[in-house]
C-alpha cells in the first residue's frame, strides 16, 4: 500500500544511530514536509455543532458568520440527505432570541438526527445559505472519500 504522507526522519535522529556525538551534523532550516495536492478553492466556513433535545444548534458562531440576527427568517429544504437553509423573508422559521438556529422535529426525524448529534455545517455567506450534513450524510461522504483515497472497502 502506498503511503499518503512519506515518513520524514530528521537528520539529527538519523545521525544519532551512526556514530558519536562529535560526528553528528546539526539540522539547519525547517524539516522537509510533503506538499499536499488539495488547495482550498472556496471561502466556506465550517462548524460541527451539537443539536439539543429541542432542535437548537448549540453553536451560535455560524449564525453570526452569516450575519443573521435574532428574528432572521429562513427556510429549510431536504435535498439528497442534506438540509439547505436559506435566509428568506418568507421563511417559516426564525433565528431564536438567543441567536440559535432551530431545526424542527419533523425534519430531525426525517434525517435521523438525535439530541447531542453533531452536524457538519458548511456556511456560504455570499449565497446566504447553510448546508447541514446530518450524521448519515457525513458517514456516506467519509466512506466515499476513504474508498477513493485508500481503495477497496476501506472503513
In angstroms, what is the C-alpha Rg of the chain?
A: 23
| pLDDT tens digits in sequence order for the chain, 155 residues long | 555 666 666 665 555 555 555 555 666 777 777 776 677 667 899 999 999 999 999 888 899 999 999 999 999 999 999 999 999 999 999 999 999 999 999 999 999 999 999 999 999 998 889 999 999 999 999 999 899 988 866 55
C-alpha grid cell for residue 81?
A: 440527505
Residue 154, pLDDT score: 54
For residue 138, give every residue at least 6 positions away whose Cβ sits within 8 Å of its Cβ, in sequence order, or none: 120
Residue 151, pLDDT score: 82
Task: From 129, 144, 141, 46, select the one nearest 83 (Cα to Cα).
Answer: 129
Residue 127, pLDDT score: 87
- In the numeric block, the cell 553528528 is attached to 24
Residue 82, pLDDT score: 96
CA 6 to each of CA 12, 32, 35, 96, 133: distance values in angstroms, whole numbers, following the listed order: 18, 11, 10, 48, 32
Residues 82, 105: contact at Cβ < 8 Å?
A: no
For residue 25, give every residue at least 6 positions away whose Cβ sits within 8 Å of its Cβ, in sequence order, or none: 11, 12, 15
Residue 9, pLDDT score: 65
Amino acid at each position: 500500500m502506498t503511503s499518503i504522507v512519506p515518513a520524514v526522519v530528521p537528520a539529527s535522529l538519523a545521525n544519532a544511530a551512526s556514530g558519536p556525538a562529535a560526528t553528528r551534523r546539526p539540522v539547519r532550516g525547517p524539516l522537509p514536509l510533503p506538499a499536499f495536492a488539495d488547495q482550498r478553492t472556496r471561502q466556506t466556513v465550517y462548524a460541527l455543532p451539537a443539536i439539543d433535545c429541542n432542535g437548537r444548534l448549540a453553536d451560535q458562531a455560524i449564525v453570526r458568520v452569516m450575519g443573521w440576527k435574532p428574528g432572521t427568517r429562513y427556510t429549510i429544504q431536504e435535498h439528497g440527505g442534506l438540509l439547505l437553509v436559506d435566509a428568506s423573508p418568507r421563511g417559516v422559521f426564525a433565528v431564536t432570541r438567543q441567536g440559535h438556529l432551530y431545526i424542527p422535529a419533523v425534519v430531525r426525524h426525517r434525517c435521523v438526527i438525535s439530541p447531542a448529534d453533531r452536524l457538519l455545517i458548511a456556511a456560504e455567506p455570499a449565497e446566504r445559505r447553510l448546508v447541514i450534513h446530518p450524521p448519515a450524510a457525513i458517514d456516506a461522504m467519509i466512506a466515499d472519500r476513504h474508498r477513493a483515497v485508500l481503495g477497496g472497502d476501506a472503513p
